[in-house]
A = this chain, B = another copy of it.
Amino acid sequence: MKIGLNFLPTLSPDEVAASEYYADCLSLCETADRLGFAHAKAVEHYFHPWGGYSPDPITFLAAVAQRTTRLRLVTGACVPAFTHPVKLAASLATLDNLSGGRLDAGFGRAFLPTEFAAFDIPLAESKSRMREGVSAVVKLWTESGFRWEGTHHTFGPLPPLLPRPVQTPHPPVLIAATASQDSFQWAGEQGHHLMIIPVVASHERLAELLRVYRNAREAHGHRDVPKLHVSYHAYVAEDHGTALREAEAHFDAYREKQLEAYASWRGVSSDQYPGYELMEAAVRSLTFEDLLKAGNVVVGDPDAAIQALNKVADRYPGGEISLHVRFGDITHRQAARTVHLLGRDVLPAVAHR
């Protein structure tokens, strides 16, 4: 089982300065690289303390690239709706070269109304912008001299984009999908890989969506083994009770921050995001106990973490796990303890899965 770190900052400037937060993250990445973790992943979000310290995962991961030698670097996810495909393809290729071919290029639709308002893009276009953006990026990485006439972008013919990515034919493409069957279907048809967050849909629903994805992949002749990235909150301490108690408080703080961001859905609804206007209420009603019961967190002493990860491996065989180790008000010291204990006691015990 491959395990990596997921960086979704939940801090505001009056809590921890961004410069300090980044320094902490880079230090965690160094430790993770040394202890055999598989990847570092960063989100793209803006403005809200929930995510806002990570508006540019490519720039952040370029820094991580210089502090690590083995970790895969995962944009989880960058948002084609907010960046022109020529810029996005070129920036990602730059990162692939700065890291000696360690990029996993993850893309997502984004979903916070604040962000769409900032970029003056209708929420209703997010799906078509993501799909067009991803397709244009892949084409720019692999072909030249073509004319692109899409719904949102028109360009070319152009010379080959520089730099060329290190990985051939191109860096792996991962699509962030949560609950829309349509997104799983499209990712499968295109032969892309997948990033999912098991909290949003039930296990049964997710199993169904993954079947849709695999069937679409097969039906469209994609024979390679797909990568499946799965994200969880993680909090590990030597003492099990301490871990549970502290994790719950941090989860509650995390949820408050998440709710502040999700509140931007108030008064908004979009037929492209069915049910998203209800998300705030859904997040509000989700408790730490719910997550624990559902096996949707990795919390406790190292033994409990091993058990939780084994359950994940049963559920998503071959899945690569992204652990969010600094959520809510978790300090760097606490996050470093989680990473250290995972690396020392947990990774060796689940490596064979």
Q: Smallest distance from the beta carbon of A128 to chain B beta carbons, Å?
A: 17
- Is A272 on the interface with B (CB-CB < 8 A)? no
Q: Which A residues lie at the B interface, using CB under 8 A?
A: 12-13, 17-19, 21-22, 26, 46-49, 52-53, 55-56, 58-60, 62-63, 65-67, 82-84, 86-87, 90-91, 93-95, 97-98, 100-101, 114, 117-120, 153-156, 158-164, 166
Q: Which residue of B lies closest to A64 (CB)?
A: B66
How many copies of this chain?
2
Q: Which residue of B lies closest to A19 (CB)?
A: B97
User: Is there an interface contact between B13 and A163, defined as CB atoms closer than 8 Å?
Assistant: yes
Complex formed: what's the CA distance from A60 to B99 in Å?
Answer: 11
Q: Which residue of B lies closest to A48 (CB)?
A: B159
A–B pairs, 30, beta carbons within 8 Å:
A13-B164, A17-B166, A18-B93, A18-B97, A18-B162, A19-B97, A22-B94, A22-B97, A46-B162, A47-B158, A47-B159, A47-B162, A48-B162, A49-B162, A55-B87, A56-B87, A56-B90, A56-B91, A59-B98, A60-B94, A62-B62, A66-B67, A82-B87, A83-B83, A83-B87, A87-B119, A117-B156, A118-B156, A120-B154, A120-B155
Task: Please judge, given known A-B contacts A53-B163, A95-B59, A98-B63, whether A158 and B117 are in contact too, CB under 8 Å.
Answer: yes
* Most B C-beta atoms less than 10 A away, residue of A52, A82, A154, A159: A159
